[in-house]
Amino acid sequence: MTNFYDTLQVSPLAKQAVISAAHEQLISSVTGDNPDAVVQRKLLNDAYFTLGDPIRRERYDRMLLGITSADTPAEKSWLRAKATPILLWLAVCGVAIGYLQYTRVAQLRAIETQEQRIRNVIAAEERQTDPRTEAERKAEMAASQQRREEELRQREERQRQQEADRAEREQLRSFEQARRESDDNMRRRLAAEAQALREHERELREKERQEKMALENEYREAQRRLEQEKSTARRLEAENSRDRRTTSY
């Protein structure tokens, strides 16, 4: 059987805000005036009317659980009768858990006491079997403590030295990287300058070639004009000689 929670498509544990949002979303999705839409809107409004109010929702939840009303004294006593065994069972469980925890702690304390007793017995036996005096043992313990402190100091010194060496290596690596980058930049700059010089030299050779060709052309043109002038002069001289011979006759 479909209940109001299924109608609004929410969980029985949903909060009032979730129920309101679900009702608004479902109402807005139902459109039209046909009988099915009217029935659907009525069902949604009835469900929201019951679940939208906390008091009506509580009564509806009790009805779903089979408890129609809990306002009469008989029903209250029935509820108490139902709840009493559960509460007693929970109390028994709590006592049992507390007893188990207390027993566990007591066992751990007993084990620790036994271990301490054994350590004391072993220490007493060692003192009895050790021929050294208390002062010698204290001196040995002090020397051992001093050795440990010296080892610790040496270890710290080695760690500091390693840190310093690591920092120096990092600095050298950074310097080497910077030097390589500087060398690369210098090589690129020199290559660019060499390329520019080669381009300039090529331009100069091309300009010199063009100027040489222009001079050669001018020289050939001057030679040609000189030849023409010489030819003209020879022709004029020949004509003058012919005219003189003609005149002499």
Any idea which residue has 């036996």 for tokens?
A: 125
Same domain, 42 and 98: no
Same domain, 108 and 81: yes
Structure tokens at 174: 């950074």
How far is residue 19's CA from residue 5's CA, in Å, rounded to a whole number?
9
Q: 55, 57, 74: which is closest to 65 by C-alpha?
A: 57
pLDDT computed for residue 144 by the predictor: 84
Domain stops at, among 130, 154, 179: 130
Within this chain, do residues 96 and 62 fall inside the same structural domain, yes or no?
A: no
Quote the CA–CA distance of 83 and 158 in Å, as a whole number: 71
Domain presence at residue 2? yes
Residues sharing a CB contact under 8 Å with residue 212, sequence separation 6 or more, in sequence order: none
Domain-ending residue, one of 130, 147, 165 = 130
Position 178 in a domain: no
pLDDT value for 130: 55
Domain that holds residue 117: 71-130
Q: Are residues 61 and 46 in the same domain?
A: yes
Amino acid at 216: E
| Pairwise CA distance, residues 25 & 40, whole Å | 13
Q: The CATH number of the domain where 47 resides is what?
A: 1.10.287.110
241 in any annotated domain: no
Tally of domains within the chain: 2
pLDDT along the chain (249 residues), means of 10: 83 90 91 86 91 90 69 54 70 83 84 81 68 72 87 91 91 88 88 90 91 90 90 88 77
